[in-house]
Structure 1
Amino acid sequence: MPLHSLTPLSDHSVLGLWQLREPAQALLQVLPERYAAIQPTGRDQTRSTQWLAGRVLAHEVLREFCTTSVILVNDANGRPFFEQLPAFAVSLSHSGQWVSCMIATRGHVGTDVELVRDKAQKLAPRFLSEAERADAGDETAKHSLYWSAKETIYKLYSRRGLVFKEHILLDPFKLREAGVLTGHLLLENSRSKHQIHYQRLTPDYVLTYAYCEMVMW
């Protein structure tokens, strides 16, 4: 099975990466039986395979903390969580051949992986502020990274209703192979600053992730 890496980020959090190569049936066979019944229907084969790979990866990451028998489900906001370990924070993302999963025994987590493509650049007026658009310029990869970082903060907050262009803002940055971005979550009654780590997994994919140990909202 192509588990790419398991990276401890703190004493309480681990990031896992999976490079998807196997068919859906091979993934389903290594999961607890209940997943066959709760697998979403109406999806194309690629998305179904990604969904299964996310669950396989989540169980791999969880083994870094415990061997409890669990099932990963989603709450009313779409946030994944383990039914038997509700205090654990979980974030999942998949795009193309890459799947990421971040788990923490406390606090909040967020991760996102994106295929670098011009879609983010075309949608930039919807999710980037004027300052962010100016900073992104004509760089397709930078637009994708802006989108990914905002998705990570959105997942970190884990509630609906955020407007990316207004409530999640990023400081200007120089695009590198890996680095740290500074993001700001601007809520009605609070403001918080977050460090979002990023990597260029390949020239065609970007990964972002963040961990917040303290409750800040």
Structure 2
Amino acid sequence: MPIIKKGLNEPNIQFAIWEITESENELFDALGSSIKDDEPLAEIKVESRRLESLAARCALQELLKPYGDFEIYKDQFGKPHLRDESIGLSISHAKGFAAAAINLDGDIGIDIEHERDQVVKIAHKFIHSTEREWVAQDIHRLTQVWSAKEALYKLHGRTKLAFAEQLITKNLDRELGEGKIIEKKEGVSLYKLYQPNETPLVTVIAY
């Protein structure tokens, strides 16, 4: 059963978190035919990954119900899009959960994460110098930053972004904060970041 929530004061932005309790057949039945996807799920060999991918599409279907039927395709970088380019989308999944987000006015990124000790070991790969004092060795704060940067990465939709140098976050102590991505050496682009107090942690980022 999905949990549907909306971004704060953002009627154009919606996201859904789906806790996976169904079997694969039940998720197939729930998905129906309103969303066509060019990625054959049968090619995903690991059952848990298939379940998560199905649940993410079910969450997306819940969000898109008011707007009709849609077809999904992936670009050269693997970012999913709707053939109807007026709506931006993003999906994510973590063990036992899936998430989807749509933006009626532009691009969007979503990420869902469980807190894990491993995030401390890889912190040097994604923490910017301005973030070090705030995150310290705190697993929750490190997960907040990692999730925000994953969501920014998905929104941006291209490869070879340096997480530690090009993706910078701030104000993550607040429920509604802001993230920013540096697209070029002399320029900064600001994005809205939403991290509700959920378990697992979910991050939604849009223009």
Structure 1: state its 5+ residue gaps: 213-217
Alignment of 1:49-198 (within 5 A): 49-64=51-66, 66-67=67-68, 69-83=69-83, 85-171=84-170, 173-174=172-173, 179-188=175-184, 190-198=187-195
How far off is 1:208 after superposition?
0.7
- Give 1:52's aligned amino acid: L
Given that 2:110 and 2:204 are in contact with CA atoms closer than 8 Å, whether structure 1 keeps it comes out as: yes
User: For this pair of structures, how many residues does the alignment match?
Assistant: 203
- Give me the whole-angstrom Cα distance separating, in 2, the residues matched to 1:78 and 1:21: 27
What are the Cα deviations for residues 75-99 of structure 1, in whole angstroms up to 9, with x where unaligned? 211111223x123100111111222
RMSD: 2.2
Is 6-15 or 187-196 further displaced after alignment? Answer: 6-15
DSSP-derived class of the 1:29 partner = helix
Gap change, CA 1:173 and 1:143, over 3 Å in 2: same
Is 141-150 or 92-101 further displaced after alignment? Answer: 92-101
- Give me the whole-angstrom Cα distance separating, in 2, the residues matched to 1:170 and 1:74: 27
**Could you say which residue in structure 2 is the equivalent of 1:215?**
none
**Could you say which residue in structure 1 is the equivalent of 2:16?**
16
Gap change, CA 1:92 and 1:159, over 3 Å in 2: same
Q: Could you tell me the percent identity over the aligned residues?
A: 22
Gap change, CA 1:183 and 1:18, over 3 Å in 2: same
- Give me the whole-angstrom Cα distance separating, in 2, the residues matched to 1:144 and 1:113: 10
How far off is 1:206 after superposition?
0.8
**Could you say which residue in structure 2 is the equivalent of 1:200?**
197
How far off is 1:149 after superposition?
0.5
**Could you say which residue in structure 1 is the equivalent of 2:204?**
209
Q: What TM-score do the two structures reach when normalised by structure 1?
A: 0.84
The list of structure 1 runs, each at least 4 consecutive aligned residues, that deviate by more than 6 angstroms after superposition, is: none
- Give me the whole-angstrom Cα distance separating, in 2, the residues matched to 1:37 and 1:26: 19
- Give me the whole-angstrom Cα distance separating, in 2, the residues matched to 1:11 and 1:54: 21
What are the Cα deviations for residues 45-103 of structure 1, in whole angstroms up to 9, with x where unaligned? 11110001111111110013x12x223232211111223x1231001111112221111
How far off is 1:44 after superposition?
1.3
- Give 1:190's aligned amino acid: G
- Give me the whole-angstrom Cα distance separating, in 2, the residues matched to 1:4 and 1:160: 31
Gap change, CA 1:162 and 1:98, over 3 Å in 2: same
Given that 1:17 and 1:100 are in contact with CA atoms closer than 8 Å, whether structure 2 keeps it comes out as: yes
- Give 2:182's aligned amino acid: L
Is 23-32 or 122-131 further displaced after alignment? Answer: 23-32
What are the Cα deviations for residues 111-164 of structure 1, in whole angstroms up to 9, with x where unaligned? 111011112111101111233233211211111111001111112222222110
Gap change, CA 1:26 and 1:181, over 3 Å in 2: same
- Give me the whole-angstrom Cα distance separating, in 1, the residues matched to 2:38 and 2:158: 28
Structure 2: state its 5+ residue gaps: none
Given that 1:28 and 1:36 are in contact with CA atoms closer than 8 Å, whether structure 2 keeps it comes out as: no
**Could you say which residue in structure 2 is the equivalent of 1:38?**
40
Given that 1:18 and 1:100 are in contact with CA atoms closer than 8 Å, whether structure 2 keeps it comes out as: yes
